[in-house]
Structure formats: C-alpha cells, structure tokens
Amino acid sequence: MKEMLMVLVAGPYRSGTGGDPEKMRANLESLGTAALEVWNRGHLPVIGEWLALPLARAAGSKDVGDAVWDQIGYPVADRLIDRCDAVYRLPGTSRGADGDVDRARSLGLPVVTGVDQLPMGLPRPGRPA
C-alpha cells in the first residue's frame, strides 16, 4: 500500500511584498499551486497561512504583521511541522520558510525543493494506482 504524507508547503508569503496585499495574495496563490502539485502526487498538502490567517483575524488582527499576527503566524507553522512528514520549500527569500526548514531538519524531517522529490502517494480519487 502506498503511503500518504502530510507535507507543509513553505515559501514566500510576506517577503518582498512591502506589505502590498495584492503581492501577498499572489504569493499565497503560488503556495496554493504548489500545494495542488503535492495533492496530485497523492499527499495531503498544508500551508501555514491557511490556518494562521483566519485564526489571526478571529483574534483581532487587522493586518498581516501586526502584534496579533506575530503571536499566531509563525507558531501555527511550528505546530503544523510537528505533525508533518515533510516540507516542500519553494524558491524565494522568506525568513518564515527558512525557519520552517530549520525546524523540519531539527525534527529529522525531509525537506524537498521539488515535488518530484516526494514519493508517489495515494492514488487520486477515480484514478488507478
């Protein structure tokens, strides 16, 4: 039986945006595109911002990078990595993604830089193995 991995997709979100919401949205879309590649390989992708953004809003954050965001954003990724089987690091400068890689390596988790470096996991629904 093939194994499904939970893979944290890590890459730029705020880095290089100067706080521009459109640039951050574009970065989140890039993370999502990479997550779909992980999904199509038969694994479960996760992105820290998928959890951190709604949690921070619920806690009263008004802008990414404010004090509330800082209390939630990186800690969410740390908790996720503790449950993940691997990290897929996308290209681009990102202090947060670099921290994700460091944490993953400290836990002995594999860090890949290309989706093809992940083993094939579970077949996609409706598709043969």
Taking residues 98-119, report their average pLDDT: 97
pLDDT of residue 122: 81
For residue 99, count CB atoms less than 10 angstroms from its CB and return exposed for 0-12, middle for 13-18, buried for 19 or more.
middle
* CATH top class, domain 6-115: alpha beta
Structure tokens at 56: 């921070």
pLDDT of residue 1: 45
Please indicate, yes or no, whether the overall pTM of this predicted structure exceeds 0.95: no
CA 119 from centroid of its chain's CA atoms: 18
Structure tokens at 103: 């944490």
Q: How far is CA 61 from CA 44, 47, 57, 69, in A?
A: 28, 19, 5, 6
pLDDT of residue 124: 61
**Mean pLDDT of all residues belonging to the chain:** 92
pLDDT of residue 126: 57
| Residue 8 in this model has a pLDDT that exceeds 50 | yes
| Residue 24 in this model has a pLDDT that exceeds 50 | yes
Render pLDDT for 45-97 as a digit per residue (tens, 0 to 9).
999 999 999 999 999 999 888 999 999 988 999 999 999 999 999 999 999 99
